[in-house]
Structure 1
Amino acid sequence: MSIELRHLRCFLAIAEESSMTRAAARLRITQPAVSRSLATLERQLGVRLVDRSTHHVTLTPEGLAFRERAAVAVGAFDAALASAGRPVRPLRLGHAWAALGPYTTPLLRRWKREQPDIPLELLRIDDRSAGLLRGAVDVAVVRGPVSEPGLVVTPLFSEARVAAVTADGPFAARARLTLADLATAPLLVNSVSGVTVPELWPPDARPTTTITVTNTDDWLASIAAGRGVGVSVASTAEIHPHPDVVYRPLPELPPVPVHLTHHAPPSHPAVPALVALAVAVTTGA
């Protein structure tokens, strides 16, 4: 038996869902069918793609490397069908937090108006590439530098940094804050998708305590509870308001660049149109 497109789609579903059961539900087939499809793919490739030795399904190093190639192959097939007039699947736009900030709603509305036949799904995925590197999305909003090879990176805009502090704490009464102010409190760091690291501070003036969280929700809850302070971007204040957290400018820090990133070639035929629209929306065109 040779490798077929259904084997690739099954493998990508497993990679995205991290679960045989959820992959089966997503594909609307049985779990044994998912296991058989994966076994066939591994046998044909001669490598083990998925580690099943733990309670959670994880990809092996070979699986991680193959996932990107499989996503490109499936995307090329979908693009070929689209060029022949066949309907395509929804275009998936990933973000780790805050999406495109104030440009998010204008982008979604213009896409719906200008591309009514191609649904655009906005997905929040808590990892550095917002799901792009594991094939969960077709395009990703990424803040900060992008160094992964093989990605097309389109700069959109830059955002000012802000401090996030407890609403009833001493910092909330100030109009703006400095790094020196924040160094006196524990620093909340989102180690999975955040853009703040202790290295923002001078080596001899860094916060003495760092508390690590893994997503924006836990980051906000910890600040609200008075466990420490955080640093983020201006869009966070708009997209993630919290009654017990206030945001204050940090004018001494450089802004954070915001990019759209995708694979080359893209995994969905509508990716170039989305990139062009995002550039138009964020530049006011």
Structure 2
Amino acid sequence: MSRDRDHASERTIELRHLRCFLAIAEEGGVTRAAARLHLTQPAVSRTLAALEAALGVRLVDRSTHHLALTPEGRAFREKAAVAVTAFEDALAAARTVRRPLRLGHAWSAAGDFTTPLLRRWRQTHPDVPLELLRIDDRTAGLTRGAVDVALLRGPVDAPGLVTELLHRETRVAALPSDSPLARHTALTLADLRDQVIALNTVSGTTSLDLWPTGARPTVTLPVANTDDWLAAIAADQAVGVTSTATVRMHPHPGVAYVPLTDAPPLPVRLARREGPGHPSAPALIALAHEVAGES
């Protein structure tokens, strides 16, 4: 009988299993996850193994040189993150001091509205700290529970999200500062057709579909984040297309920004997950609309 009880306890999934798995997924390895959780590496490995045994699936591929999540692991990561966030929200609702409200973005935050929004929030909600987090993925960490609200640009097609339009930004060309094109006061998309186009394939919104058929560039340079995108342009390896928010949030001595007259504006949306979330999320969304509407 005791053996059956021990076996049943090994199959019980607890919050610590989810936290451990999420730490491994976010840190990209057991060693860093152990340091983050203040546990030993063997303890983290055992916890992961117990979670996989309870679920009956392999979550982490251990056959590769670098730790990688299996397809089942990637799917479970989103569910685990939502579960942990829901647990934290339940506790926060019962506490005098709430946990920080996390606002995610992949790049450029809210552009010109960023500083006014952060300042106004601190003035009107001093009891709820607001954390601005840059996370390089298409939903800025929202689908995996890393943030409570996200500022997202371009199309948003991830399931389980509720979005609303905040405003629209005009687009600009990003060019090496010594490029002949940088001397123009305005450009068209066709002016860039013979250039190498830097494309942020992780969190960016520009694709070759932005250009009219028959006038599309043929060579691209994939990058993984805004920093690499800026570095490639400054080094005269490529040019890029972005929004006016980048001009304000990412000035660079080696990059010049020139307005594009025929590129469609870029929508900026506020997004949150469906269902219960951080209790202060609605207030942040309302304040963002208020700040944007004052411009």
TM-score, reference length from structure 2: 0.90
Report 1:254-269 matches (<5 A): 254-269=264-279
Letter in 2 for 1:148: A
Match of 1:25 in 2: 35
Report 1:1-285 matches (<5 A): 1=9, 2-85=12-95, 87-284=97-294
Task: Identify unmatched segments of 5+ residues in structure 2.
Answer: 1-8
Take 1:116 and 1:29, find their aligned partners in 2: how far apart are those partners?
A: 34
Per the alignment, do residues 10 and 276 of structure 1 end up closer, same or farther by CA in structure 2, a change over 3 Å counting? farther
Cα contact 2:117–2:291 (8 A) shared by 1: yes
Take 1:226 and 1:22, find their aligned partners in 2: how far apart are those partners?
A: 36
Task: Identify unmatched segments of 5+ residues in structure 1.
Answer: none
Take 2:287 and 2:39, find their aligned partners in 1: how far apart are those partners?
A: 36
Per the alignment, do residues 271 and 34 of structure 1 end up closer, same or farther by CA in structure 2, a change over 3 Å counting? farther
Match of 2:6 in 1: none
Take 2:292 and 2:195, find their aligned partners in 1: how far apart are those partners?
A: 35
Q: CA RMSD in A?
A: 1.8
Match of 2:3 in 1: none
Take 2:111 and 2:237, find their aligned partners in 1: how far apart are those partners?
A: 26
SS in 2 for 1:226: coil
Take 1:11 and 1:31, find their aligned partners in 2: how far apart are those partners?
A: 13
Letter in 1 for 2:229: W
Deviation string 1:111-141 (CA, Å, 9 cap, x unpaired) is 2222223222222122212222333322222
Higher alpha-carbon deviation: 137-146 or 97-106:
137-146
TM-score, reference length from structure 1: 0.93
Cα contact 2:79–2:144 (8 A) shared by 1: no
Higher alpha-carbon deviation: 234-243 or 193-202:
193-202
Take 1:220 and 1:266, find their aligned partners in 2: how far apart are those partners?
A: 38
Take 1:134 and 1:260, find their aligned partners in 2: how far apart are those partners?
A: 16
SS in 1 for 2:241: strand
Higher alpha-carbon deviation: 10-19 or 142-151:
10-19
Aligned residue-pair number: 285
With CA pairs under 8 Å and 6+ residues apart, which has the higher RCO, 1 or 2?
1
